[in-house]
Structure 1
Amino acid sequence: MERKLNALLESCTSGGCGAKISPGTLSQLLTGLPVLRDDNLLVGYGSSDDAAVYRLDDRRSLVMTVDFFPPMVDDARIFGKIAAANALSDVYAMGGRPLTALNLVCFPQAMDTAVLKEILVGGAEKVMEAGAVLSGGHSIYDKEPKYGLSVTGIVDTDKIIRNDTPRVSDKLILTKPLGVGIIMAALRGEAASMEAVRKATASMERLNKYAAEKMAGHSVSACTDVTGFGLLAHALEMAGDAVSVVVYPDELPYFDEAYRYAGEYLLTAAGQRNRNHLAGKADVERLPFALQELMFDPQTSGGLLISVAAGEAEDLLSAIRADDPSAQIIGEIAERDKDIILFR
């Protein structure tokens, strides 16, 4: 890991999307908030979608999102790249194209500002790769470093992709392997191999731009990015109130090292929160413990979960694998069952 300027991991107690408030707690917090009516707000906080969408005119809408978190790696520039890629992902999940980005910075007053410079450079590099424009930001002093972006994108209004509108019989494609949260937990415990960390950081740095571009021209009914709530909680959001999600456990892509670490109980608190949230909604007990943990594992800058017409799934998968070779068909959408998440 080059450019190690300071022990970022020692400066914080949690990192990446594992620092997110649990989905159950977040849902309770949002319940009862004032609802502001605006016919142009097509997607707001009333749903659990990836970004807000506001209609500009008869053809176009803005896609708006914000995401930031503490570091999960010691390399400052890599942290900046991962945080930026994670924030940009919400726009891609909605079918949009990023236009502008604003930096969000929390930084300890006592820490070397050269570290912050590297974080910002890493973030800027990913914004440039996305074809967006870094246009400002906001910074404050804090006890722990945190970084991310507020991103605004654009989408054709008739091509907005929601996260909770999948069709029955669609196939589900996951574009990145699971297990980055577990590997980062092992890194904190000084138990992760450098090869495992290298593979995990390469995955987290990779923009979902390339997979999202492949969705154009295919019959995609829903999409979300798999982040801090883990695969199963995001699948639960996709199921909504209308359908059930069938997962093929034997087809899940994951890092072999993460499976091994999970079997050795190198786990995360966020993964346990996700497990608790899924209680009664997904019966995982017949599956190997390590595989259970991979499905609950909080993903930082994880892959897209795409619901696509069954007859087009193999073609879309083949196209996505040109840039994301670990992508896999991992399930399907079924009629509503008493169990919202099923395993086959």
Structure 2
Amino acid sequence: MAPGVLESILERLPHVDGHPGVLVGLDPGDDAAVYQIDADRALVATVDVITPIVDDPVTFGRIAATNSISDIYAMGARPLLSLSVACFNAQLPVEVMGDILAGAAETALAASAPILGGHTIKDPEVKFGLAVIGEVHPDRILRKSAARAGELLVLSRPIGSSALATAFKKGEFDESDARYKGLVSNMLRSNRSASEIALEAGVRCATDVTGFGLAGHLLEIARASGVGIELDFDAIPVLEGAREALRAGHTCGGAQANLQHAGQKVSTKRNLDTVDFGILSDPQTAGPLVFTIGAEQADTIVEALRRDGAATASIVGRITEDHCGSIQVV
């Protein structure tokens, strides 16, 4: 759903400010809801469902689970359990349904969030995801609203998954291609380590880059924190083949909606072409974490991420006092 449409829908819901136990709800929204149960513990809850992004059902199940659990890590929490949400059509072989669930169950169990139940719906279009419950100390929640001027922006992994996945679906390359392998490897990489490294370094502001694209999720940080963002475009890590896919016109409706929503909130000091704007608005599946950190710690945390296997982790910008609620691309 386009971000602007979602915002207009959520405006109609009743406010829950002051409701006992609610630490994070919809006003302002974040990657997951947080409900405090005692002085040292709070429950974190999220749900995410996607359509197939690859052909192999086991791999799709694993990616869907990774994508759903990511919101727990984006909040600085650890997952506890999950429930599956499956939409299958009558023509889908039972074996394929089972493979999707098996792939998801394997990934969820490895993340210490075993699938303990769920719900299945008849639907012409296949969709799958998880509702995930996690746990966090109330003082260690990562929030979109905690960015401070002077901090630097760190992106843990490359982006460009939607462009590549669209090119794959249109037959531009097959599963033996390095582009496919890089795409799947990136989507299967858990954000657990990045979250733990960020917490150890004292990070307070984070989100995962998913459906609204990099620009959309950075705008959420800018608005929630009351800051501006200066984005170093050349520093953004991009998956191999993603730029070429965008240049060939392999984009999706979600990217167009993301770009339209960003509107006047993204300005630039440089010449950006259609491909460049496509990178900024490309929706991500199981995308990276982006977080803010003091300038004196930024290089150290990037080195830690790279030692952990995130070879392209990079400093991609800084938080500013001016241009609040917007992004300036440099």
**Correspondence 1:28-177 to 2 at 5 A:** 28-36=8-16, 37-177=18-158
For 1:50, give the aligned amino acid: D
User: 201, 205, 222: which is aligned to 2:205?
Assistant: 222
1:127, 1:133 within 8 Å by CA — same for their partners in 2? yes
Q: Structure 1 runs of 4+ off > 4 angstroms?
A: none
- Residue number in structure 1 paired with 2:245: 261
Distance in 1 (CA, whole Å) between partners of 2:325 and 2:99 is 46
1:213 Cα deviation from its structure 2 partner: 1.3
Asked if the contact 1:102/1:135 (under 8 Å) is kept, the reply is yes
Superposition TM-score, scaled by structure 1 size: 0.91
1:133 Cα deviation after fit = 2.3
Give the C-alpha shift of residue 70 in structure 1: 1.1
Q: Give 3-state SS (helix, strand or coil) of 1:55's partner.
A: strand
Separation of aligned partners in 2, 1:314 and 1:60: 32
Q: 2:80 is matched by which residue type in structure 1? A: L
Instruction: Sort the Cα spacing of 1:195 and 1:161 in 2 relative to 1 into closer, same or farther, 3 A.
Output: same
Q: 1:172-187 counterparts in 2 under 5 A?
A: 172-187=153-168
Is 1:283 paired with 2:267? yes
> Is the 1:219–1:312 Cα contact (8 Å) retained in structure 2?
no
**Aligned equivalents of 1:324, 1:131: Cα separation in 2:** 22
The residue type paired with residue 15 of structure 2 is V
Report the Cα distance in structure 2 between the residues aligned to 1:192 and 1:340, rounded to whole angstroms. Answer: 37
For residue 297 of structure 2, what is the amino acid of its counterpart?
A: E
The alpha-carbon deviation at position 309 of structure 1 amounts to 1.2
Whether 1:211 and 2:219 are equivalent positions in the alignment is no
Cα-to-partner distance string for 1:296-327 (whole Å, 9 max, x where unaligned)? 00001100001111111111111111221121
Task: Report the Cα offset of residue 267 of structure 1.
Answer: 1.4
**Which amino acid in 2 is paired with 1:170?**
E
Counterpart check, 1:308 vs 2:277: no
Q: Deviations over 1:250-306 (max 9, x none)?
A: 101002311111122221111110000011010257223312211100001100001
Identity of aligned residues (%): 36
- Distance in 1, Cα, partners of 2:310 & 2:85: 28
Distance 1:328 1:144, change over 3 A: same
How many Å separate the matches in 1 of 2:79 and 2:243? 34
Q: Give 2:320's aligned amino acid.
A: A
- Residue identity in the other structure for 1:300: T
Q: Tell me which moved more, 319-328 or 273-282.
A: 319-328
Give me the TM-score of the superposition, normalised by structure 2.
Answer: 0.95
Residue in 2 that maps onto 1:12: none
Q: CA deviation at 1:236?
A: 0.1
* Contact 1:105 1:140 (8 Å CA) reproduced: yes
Determine the C-alpha separation between the residues in 2 that align with 1:296 and 1:247: 14
| Structure 2 partner of 1:244 | 228
Query: How many matched pairs?
Result: 324
Pair 1:334 & 2:323 matched: no
CA distance in 2, matches of 1:164, 1:288: 31
Aligned to 2:256: 272
User: Distance in 2 between the 1:266 and 1:73 partners?
Assistant: 15
Q: Partner amino acid for 1:168?
A: A
2:303 to 318, 332, 343: 318
**In the alignment, which residue of structure 2 is the partner of 1:5?**
none
Provide the secondary structure at the position in 2 that maps to 1:291.
helix
Taking the aligned partners of 1:92 and 1:176, their CA distance within structure 2 comes to 15
Listed one character per residue, the Cα deviations across residues 43-77 of structure 1 (whole Å, up to 9, x for unaligned) are 01222310000001011100000001111111001
Alpha-carbon distance, 1:164 to partner: 2.1
Gaps of 5+ in 1: 1-20
Q: Say which SS state the counterpart of residue 31 (structure 2) adopts.
A: coil
The question of whether the paired residues in 1 share the 8 Å contact of 2:219 and 2:325 is answered with: no
- Which residue identity is paired with 1:212? S
Matched, 1:199 2:182: yes
2:144 and 2:206 in contact (8 A); partners too: yes
Separation (CA, whole Å) in 2 of partners of 1:217 and 1:74: 38
**Displacement of 1:132:** 2.1
Q: Match of 2:329? A: 343
For the residues of structure 2 that align with 1:215 and 1:152, how far apart are their CA atoms? 21
Quote the offset at 1:200 in angstroms.
0.6
Offset at 1:339?
Answer: 7.2
Distance 2:325 2:287 in 1: 25
Aligned residue identity for 2:291: I
